[in-house]
Every structure is written in structure tokens, then in C-alpha cells.
Chains A and B, each alone.
Chain A
Amino acid sequence: MIGLEHILVVSSILFSLGVFGVLARRNAIMILLALELMLNAVNINLIAFAVYLDPDLIVGIIFAIFVTTVAAAEVGLAMAFILRLYRSRSSVNVDEVNLMRW
């Protein structure tokens, strides 16, 4: 059968892909996407634990709902940043955003 470990492996693969995306992408929106991927991986993790370890205790599922909510709010905020950035520089390349340096 499909055991817990299989789902955890999937979620960790997704999480790593997300980390890679955040670190390696130049486009700000792509970084956002990767971030969302990471959050989703975490969600899968939480729900897997909830279902496999203790079906009566739905704490994991409630936590997953919180995470989703926060993710949504955060995306809204991040989009606002990116829109501001694009309006002032006509580009969303994060490599160019390096004015706050020494």
C-alpha cells in the first residue's frame, strides 16, 4: 500500500524543487511561484501526518488550512511589492535590486 513514507518523500521532493526555484530564479514572480510550491509541500506533509497517524485528531488538517490562508495573504502582499518594483524599474529581475548594499 501507499505508506506515510511515500507521501513524505513526495512532499520533500516538492519542497526541494521549491527551494531550488527560490534560490535560482531571477524573475520575482517565478520566485513567488516556487515559494508557493514550498508551502504546498508543507501542506501535503501536514495532511499526510494527520491522515496516517491519528485520523480522529484533525489538528494537522486545521493547521494546513491556516497555512493555506497565510500563503494566500502573503501572495497578495508579495504581488503588491512586485508591482511597485515593476512600475519603478520596468523589470522584475531580482538580481538588479541591489541598492541596499554597503
Chain B
Amino acid sequence: MGIEWAWLLPALCGGAFASILFLGRYTPLRGAPIAIASIATCFALFWFFMSDVVTDGGRSFERFWFEAGDISISLGMTIDELALVMIGLVTTVSLAVQIYSLGYMRGDPRFGWFFAMMSLFAASMLGLVLVDNLLVFYVLWELIGLCSYLLIGFYSERRSAAEAAKKAFIVTRIGDVALLIGILVLFTATGTFEMSEIFAQADAGEISKSNLNLSAALIFIGIAGKAAQFPFHVWLPDAMEGPSPVSALIHAATLVVAGIYFLARLSPMLVHTPGVLDSVAAVGLVTAFVGAFLALTQNDLKRVLAYSTMSQLGLMVLAMGSLSFGAGIFHLLTHGFFKALLFLGAGTVMHAMNGELDMRKMGGLRRVMPITYVLFLLGSFSLIGLFPMSGFFSKDEILVGVLDERNGWLVAAGLAASGMTALYVVRMVLMVFLGESRSEEARNAHEATPTMLAPMAALGLPTVGLGVLALNWGNFGGFAEFLHLPPGGSHEYKIVPEIFWPSLVISYGLLILGWRMYYRRSRLTPSIVESRYPRLYAFAANKFYLDDLYQWIVNNVVLVVSRSIALFDQRVVNDKGVDGPGKFTAFVGRTLRYHETGVIGTYILTIAVTATLAILIMVAVN
């Protein structure tokens, strides 16, 4: 089964979506088996495709689509190592999450619709990583945004969920506008939507520097929206209103990384825009910090994970901005697995706690849900980047790349962010699983069903083991080598002592520090921080007041402008423009109708007078 069949992946899932929509009610379990069957098939196909790519390398396929004037737009499919990695990630995590959802979402009245949307999302995401055409890419990009909106607002009866879905869609939409303009700038500069064409033109120097930089900057703004970079990150914590499987799949492993993938995909072009990449790295670093900082102050389990995702995405973006595209994608891969695992674990905890997510009400869950505890611990260790988990290798690769391309200060900053990661992760694990149970629900909690535990365990394997992909042994030159993204040069994994040891020390060290802080109630407890620095604490707890700032902007700028435009539309366009001719016609009619007196005498008089006048004029003219 060669990779020319890759179009089957989105087609199968799209077909599953349609089938569940129309035939769901006639099938047992409301169509969920259709979704799972399709994603399992995709998963199987992935392995075939992988063997094909590993032996023969990546290829592109193209099909002519349509012509408009002298612009011909064609639809192409590119399956190279990068696409393959993404396909693997999406199919694996989707499969795990969908099986998990069988247990988690059981009993929900919209069970079938959930799986339909999951299939639609899988189809869009798989299509996204396959296409070669920027226009189709944009359409699919919007489609995954739509699925995210629908799935965040899944519990539509809840006001907070509906608001969160709206917020997610609007914030990412702002980015999407920039993305579209960036794509169009590229199109006007090159005359084509095809990425391979554009890269060739860029390499040959046929695109002007200003065009390249402008489009790269705009595209990055679009990516920043979806990838929850600062300051577009505000939608991600609220997106936790959606069901936990949704958070695991979409807001940890796939949708938020679509932008990171796009950066890697555009790497042949981005090597020509170093200025933009500087900003990219800066944004990534800031995001990594802000995310980790805010994660430290949250009391809601899923929100800690959301900010954690934001922080890790910042790291990936930092890698991309430091020309370490391979390292960034590797972290994308490992993060996808361990973050999905963590979110599924959070879902299990939430299920067991009867929907309660406040960590202050948890505690001691280790005793009642041991398997979840162990798996969650594995994910947490990978998140912190403890050796020998996969997270360690990917984070290390990023830092090595940053050291290579940029300077040591950024590496130090990255290490600091990793340190903060350790702190908030320890706090999270401690509050949830260890210590004494702090509420009724925590005491009555139960372990999850096998349907939910099995996928989590499945995700645990790559969490622990995927690190080996970074190394090079035998024919395999290491992950970055495998992807062979620009700027080329061998990025084989090397153990850089300047990074390896500090990273090790910091991760283990802060693990212990966090333990002491939060468990042993040493002098640095959060409540003490709160009382000593109330304003700083409030600043962090209110998420830097960014939400309030944005709301203020919406109220005083956006709504004011839209109100005045609405007024203009009402008073001028509608009342004058549309009603105007009608009213004028009526006015004319009302005035002229007096001419119909109904009295025959006037009519005849008019005729006589007019006839006489006409004759006189004719005579006078002649």
C-alpha cells in the first residue's frame, strides 16, 4: 500500500463523519464504532505508509484542479517524513482518545455527534498535513478551528462553554485573517499557491525580501493565534470547558500544533527570513515563560495543563525560531503523547471526582486510582523533562539547537522555564494524588474503567520510550536527520555537556524543591507568597489581567466601532438608500394623484387646451 493512497486517510474519516451524521441513529452505539473503525484503519495505513517512506523516501503527487483566467490552481499531496510523523501522531492519539471517549462520554445524549465531530476533525487534520496547496491548507485550517469551536462548546447548555467556544473561535480568527493575507501576499508575489513552487522561487531569489518577510510575519501571526502564543493565548485555558478527550486531542496534541507543523513545512522559505525568525523565537520564549508562570497559580487541574501546553508550545516555537525545525517537531511529537496522556488522566480524575476539577478539593487519589497515578506520573516526568523520558530528549534537542543558532542567554532562559515547569508539575501531582483527601468526593473516588485506562497506557509507551528516536544507531541518523528539514547540516543528537548537566540538575533539583515547598510546607508556601506580595499574586492569579484588557478593548473599541457602523447602516443605507426610492415614489404618487379628478369635464378641457397649444406651436414653428 504505497503512499499514493494517502488521500484515503482524510477521505475515510470524512466518510465516517458523513455516515455517522446520517446513519448514526441506525447503528449501535450511535455510530461510534464507525468513527473508531475509520481511525483504526488510518492508524494501520500509517504503518504501511511509514515502511514506504522509510524505504523509498517522500514523494509528491499532483492533480490539476481548475483554471481561472491565466491562474491555474492545482491540488497536490506531499507525503514526506514530516507529513508521515504528523500522520502518525494524529492517528495514534485520535485512536487512543476515541477509545477513551467510549468510556468517558458514555451516557451523553449527544454521543453520536461527538464521534462525528471527532471524525471530522481527524479528516481535516490529516488533510492539512498532506496538502501542498496553500489555499486548501487554509480551508482545512479553518475547518479544524470549526471543529474546535463545536467541540469546546459541546456542553452547549453551559453558558461558560458557549462563551469559551466563542472566545476560541474569535481569537484564532484574528490570527486567521493575518494568515490569509500572508498567503495572498505570497500568491501575488509568486503567482501560485503551491508550496513546492514557492520554495523553488524563494531559493532562486525570485521573491523580493520585503514580500518574503511580510508574508512570513503575517503567517506567523496566524500561527500564533492557533498555537496559543502570547498574547493570543487567552482562549486556551477557557477551552478546557470542553470534554477532556477533546482537550487531550485538540488542545494538546493536534490542533495547537498545526501551526508548528506549518512552520516546519515552510522551513525552506523561512531560512530566507532571519529577521522574522528572531521575532518568532522571542514570542516563543515569552510564551514559554508566561505559560509556566501562570500554570503555577492555577487551582483548576485542566487549566494547569492548559497553561503547561501553552508553555511547551512556546518552547516549540522557540525551536522553530532558532532554525531547529527538526528539534521542534520532535518535541511536538513527544509532547503530543505525554500531554494527551496527562489530559486523559485529568479526565479520569474529573470523572472519579464527579466533575470536580478544583485541586484544592482533591488529594490522596493515589490510593484509590493507582494505575492512573502511575501513568500520570510518567507523563509528568516526561513533561518536566526528566531523564530518561522522551520529554527529556526532545527538550534537550531544542536547547542544543538554540545554543547552536543563538546564544547561551536564551538557553539559560529556556532552562529557567523548564525549572518552572518542574515546580508547577510537582505542585499539581502533589495536590491531586498525594497527601490527604481533602473532600468527600476525593474519598469516594474510584479507578477508571479499562476502556479508559487502556488508551492511557498505550500513550504511556511512547511517553517513556520515544526518546530513543533522537539518537542515531545503525542506519537511522536520529530524528532530525530523518526529517531532513532545512537548513540542513547534521543535527544529529549530541550530548552537549553545557546543556545536559544543567538540564538534569535543574529538572531533578526543582523536583525536590517543589516537593519540599508543597509537601513539607516549608517557608515558601504559596499562601505565604500571597500574603507577602498580594499585588503580584493577584496579578498572576488574574492571568496578568489580559482577559480584562481584551474585554475592555472589545467593549470600548470594537463594540463602539461596530455600533457606529450599525447606526450608519441603519440610518443612511437602510432608511435613506433602501427606503428612500420607495418613499420618494410614494411621495410622487401622492402628489400626482390629484390629477385624476374623475370629473370628465376636466379631462376634456385638458385635451382641448393641449391640442390647441400643440397646433399653435406647430404653426409657429413653421
Instruction: Give chain B interface residues in 558-598, CB to chain A under 8 Å.
Output: 593-594, 596-598
Interface segment, one of A5-13, A40-48, A58-66, A91-99: A91-99
Please name all residues of chain A whose beta carbon is closer than 8 Å to the beta carbon of B593 when the two chains form the complex: 102
Whose C-beta in chain A lies nearest to the C-beta of B598?
A: A101
- Contact across chains for A102 and B600 when beta carbons are under 8 A apart: no
Counting CB contacts under 8 A, is A57 at the interface? no
Among A19, A23, A97, contact of B598 (Cβ-Cβ < 8 Å)? A97
Q: Which residues of B contact A97 (CB under 8 A)?
A: 598-600
* Residues of B contacting A102 in the complex (Cβ-Cβ under 8 angstroms): 593-594, 596-598
Considering the complex, give the chain B residue whose CB is closest to the CB of A22.
B604
Q: Judging by beta carbons under 8 Å apart, are A23 and B597 in contact?
A: no
Contact between A23 and B608, CB atoms less than 8 A apart = yes
Of all chain A residues, the one with the shortest Cβ separation from B590 is A102
**C-alpha gap A98/B596 in the complex (Å):** 9
The answer to whether B605 touches A23 (Cβ under 8 A) is yes
Smallest CB gap from A26: residue in B: B601
Per-residue CB proximity of B592-621 to A under 8 Å, as 1/0? Answer: 011011111100110010000000000000
Tell me, in angstroms, the Cα distance from A94 to B605 when the chains sit together. Answer: 14
- Let me know if B601 and A100 touch, CB within 8 A: no
Instruction: Determine chain A's interface SS by DSSP, over half rule.
Output: loop
A23 touches B594 (CB 8 A): no
Q: Are B604 and A100 in contact (CB under 8 A)?
A: no
Please encode chain A, from 2 to 35, with 1 for each CB lying within 8 Å of some chain B CB and 0 for all others: 0000000000000000010011000000000000
* Cβ contact of B601, chosen from A95, A99, A101, cutoff 8 A: A95
Residues of A within 8 A of B594 (CB): 102
Chain A hits for B605, CB < 8 A = 23
Distance in Å from the Cβ of A23 to the closest Cβ of chain B?
Answer: 6
Contact in complex: A100, B608 (CB < 8 Å): no
How far, in angstroms, from A101 to B602 measured CA to CA in the complex?
12
Q: Which residues of B are found within 8 Å of A99, using beta-carbon distances?
A: 598
- Minimal beta-carbon separation of A49 from chain B (angstroms): 17
Question: Which residue from A23, A95, A98 sits with its C-beta under 8 Å from B604?
Answer: A23
A98 touches B608 (CB 8 A): no
Cα(A60)–Cα(B551), bound, Å: 94
- The listed residue (B596, B604, B608) touching A101 by CB distance below 8 A is B596
Residues of A within 8 Å of B599, CB to CB, are 94-95, 97-98, 101
By the criterion CB–CB under 8 Å, are B598 and A94 in contact? no
Tell me, in angstroms, the Cα distance from A94 to B598 when the chains sit together.
Answer: 10
Q: By the criterion CB–CB under 8 Å, are A23 and B596 in contact?
A: no
**Contact (Cβ within 8 A) A19 B596:** no
B residues in contact with A100, CB < 8 Å: 596, 598
Q: For the complex, what is the distance from the CA of A22 to the CA of B597, rounded to whole Å?
A: 17
Binary CB contact string for chain B from 155 to 182 against chain A (1 if under 8 A, 0 otherwise): 0000000000000000000000000000
Q: What residues of chain A lie closer than 8 Å to B598, measured between beta carbons?
A: 97-102
Interface string of A68-102 (1 = CB under 8 A from B): 00000000000000000000000000110111111
Q: What is the CA–CA distance of A47 and B600 in the complex, to the nearest angstrom?
A: 32
Q: Which residue of B lies closest to A24 (CB)?
A: B601
Residue of A whose beta carbon sits closest to that of B611:
A19
Q: Which residue of A lies closest to B594 (CB)?
A: A102
Smallest CB gap from A35: residue in B: B604
For B595, the closest partner residue in chain A by CB is A102
CA distance A22 to B600 in the complex (A): 10
A78 to B474, CA, bound (A): 116
B597's contact among A19, A94, A98, by CB below 8 Å, is which?
A: A98
Q: Report whether B601 and A19 are in contact in the complex, using a CB–CB cutoff of 8 Å.
A: no
Nearest CB to that of A28 among chain B residues?
B600
What is the CA–CA distance of A22 and B605 in the complex, to the nearest angstrom? 9
A101 near B597: Cβ-Cβ < 8 Å: yes
Q: How far is the CA of A97 from the CA of B601 in the complex (A)?
A: 10
In angstroms, Cα B596 to Cα A23, docked, is: 17
CB distance from A11 to the nearest CB of B (A): 15
State how many angstroms separate the Cβ of A74 from the closest Cβ of chain B: 15
- A94 touching B601 in the complex, CB below 8 Å, given contacts A19-B608, A23-B608: yes
Q: Return B216 CB to nearest CB of chain A, in Å.
A: 71
Smallest distance from the beta carbon of B594 to chain A beta carbons, Å? 6
The complex places the Cα of A95 from the Cα of B552 at a distance, in Å, of 74
Q: In the complex, how many angstroms separate the beta carbon of B603 from the nearest chain A beta carbon?
A: 10
A23 CA to B605 CA, complexed, in Å: 6
- Within the assembled complex, what's the spacing in Å between the Cα atoms of A99 and B604? 17
The complex places the Cα of A97 from the Cα of B598 at a distance, in Å, of: 7
Contacts of B596 in A (CB 8 A): 100-102
Chain A residue with the shortest CB-CB distance to B596: A102
Q: CA–CA, A101 to B604, complex, Å?
A: 15
Q: What CA separation (Å) do A100 and B601 show in the bound complex?
A: 13
Q: State how many angstroms separate the Cβ of B448 from the closest Cβ of chain A.
A: 83
Query: Closest Cβ of chain B: how far from A20's Cβ, in Å?
Result: 10
Chain B residues positioned under 8 Å from A95 (CB to CB): 599, 601
> Nearest Cβ distance between residue A63 and chain B, in whole angstroms?
19
Question: 10 A-B Cβ contacts within 8 A?
Answer: A22-B604, A22-B608, A98-B597, A98-B599, A100-B598, A101-B598, A102-B594, A102-B596, A102-B597, A102-B598
A-B complex: 3 closest residue pairs judged by Cβ atoms: A101-B598, A98-B598, A102-B593
Show the binding face of A for B, using Cβ within 8 Å: 19, 22-23, 94-95, 97-102
Q: Could you list 16 further interchain pairs (A-B, Cβ under 8 angstroms) beyond the known A22-B604, A102-B596? A: A22-B608, A23-B605, A23-B608, A94-B599, A94-B600, A95-B599, A95-B601, A98-B597, A98-B598, A98-B599, A99-B598, A100-B596, A101-B596, A101-B598, A102-B593, A102-B594
